[in-house]
Amino acid sequence: MTKLSKSGSVEKALSIIDCFTNEHSRYTLEELTRVSGFPRSTVYRMLCSLERFGYIIREIVNREVFFSLGFRFLEKASMVIGQIDLRELARQEMSELRRHTGMTVQLAVKDREEAVYIDQMETNNYIRVYPEIE
């Protein structure tokens, strides 16, 4: 495998995007500067570029400016999900497993060190799990 070259700007922008989590989905510029560890001017420049392309939303609440992830991510995520035939391929096996166990069956894919749930077949039993299906 060939060694990939690095792009400092792209890596900084992605590092800033990675600061956003379910627990902390919006930041002020100062908060994001602190969390990311980048200089304020760098964070601001990256946010402006990401906002221009729809990846960041800027909102003003009580005169305070907040940044959150934009809807462009949904567009890209649905493109990825649309390319996955895994759900269709797994349907028969999931159905068989649910019938055999009587339990809810979930289908997940590995994304680095996390599991991303992409499908679920509910049980008719009372015990249910509600993962976030992406």
Residues near 98 by beta carbon (within 8 Å), at least 6 away in sequence: 104, 105, 121, 123
Structure tokens at 125: 């039993």
The conformation of residue 5, written as its DSSP 8-state character, comes to P
Calpha distance 7→26 (Å, rounded): 26
**pLDDT per residue over 48-106, tens digit each?**
999 999 999 999 999 999 999 999 999 998 888 777 788 888 999 999 999 999 889 99
pTM listed for this prediction: 0.62
Residue 27 has a pLDDT of 98
Residue 10 has a pLDDT of 93
Structural domains of the chain sorted by starting position, each given as residue range(s) with its CATH number in brackets: 8-70 (1.10.10.10), 84-121 (no CATH)
